[in-house]
Amino acid sequence: MKDFHEKLETILAAASIRTEEPMKDHTTFRIGGPAEFYVTPKTEAELVDAVKLCRKEGMPFHVIGNGSNLLVSDRGFKGVVLSTECLTRWEISGEDTGGVMTACAGILLSRLAKEAAKESLTGLEFAAGIPGTLGGAVVMNAGAYGFEMKNVLCWARVLDKEGRIKRLTAEQLQLGYRTSCVSPMGYTVLEAGLRLCKGLREEIYGKMEELAQRRREKQPLEYPSAGSTFKRPEGHFAGQLIDQAGLRGYRIGGAQVSEKHCGFVINRGGATAADVVNLCDEVRRRVREMSGVELELEVKHI
């Protein structure tokens, strides 16, 4: 690993590379063992070079934004975790009736929504409370309250497995419910363009506050979590099925089905990844027995 570390240092500043970095410090679940290498590229070019190096050397890697939809093993990750946290540039171009908001993958959706609101641009109100980044939102077609990224996404620039940068339309990204072609194709999202419309600033802020209030009332924001733990089964609501299975407040170790919203698994304190996995397995088993519905995890486990 010394040779690989030296190769990383040829393309990145030493301050951008940390070894045995606790991933609990980089996920909203506040869970996860150490990453062998934790790398924070300062530019898109550095991110591209780091991904290319990992592929060339056969080094496992995972690109993260805010770690908001992620459960990292207690053993950590043997390989390279690449953080997009420094890639936050954004700009607006277009006509007076609206415009295209172009932004790098690492910018938080909440910040992007606020910047759009300042410019009286509507379309991102639903994203103001989503704790992830733009890159992650493209990967999973993030959404809330009946809106999804596919409603505003025009295109995304991605790095493919051969090291080529491509610009793909929203249609080419094959956006579906909490899915896209990004992960299956091995793409890395670098940047995206969002089509927004002109609106009234007061109404935009009002809608954002209304959705924020709904979140505060219905979601367990006071505890670490990875957001909605399970995908919505067709014709059902995951939280409702879990509640009907008698699992509201069910707990294993430090992991618990939220009493406030059964669709969330929360870290009540000191939860391990094993606690979360065991809890989710039991939830899925009990729901399957009770309703015949197979719940699918929305949270990514590495």
Among 228, 258, 284, 286, the active-site one is 228
Work out whether the CA dihedral 59, 26, 43, 193 comes out positive or negative: positive
Among 18, 55, 111, 178, the active-site one is 178
φ, ψ (nearest 5 deg) of residue 155: -160, 165
CB 170 within 8 A of CB 150: yes
In this structure, the number of other CB atoms found within 10 A of the CB of residue 229 comes to 27
In this structure, the number of other CB atoms found within 10 A of the CB of residue 166 comes to 15
DSSP string, 23-47: GGGSSTT----EEEEEE--SSHHHH
Question: What span, in angstroms and rounded, lies between the C-alpha atoms of 9 and 79?
Answer: 16
Pairing of strands 34-39, 77-83: parallel
CB 175 within 8 A of CB 153: yes
298 is known as an active-site residue: yes
* Burial degree of 246 (CB within 10 A; 0-12, 13-18, 19+): exposed
In this structure, the number of other CB atoms found within 10 A of the CB of residue 149 comes to 26
Active site residues: 178, 228, 298
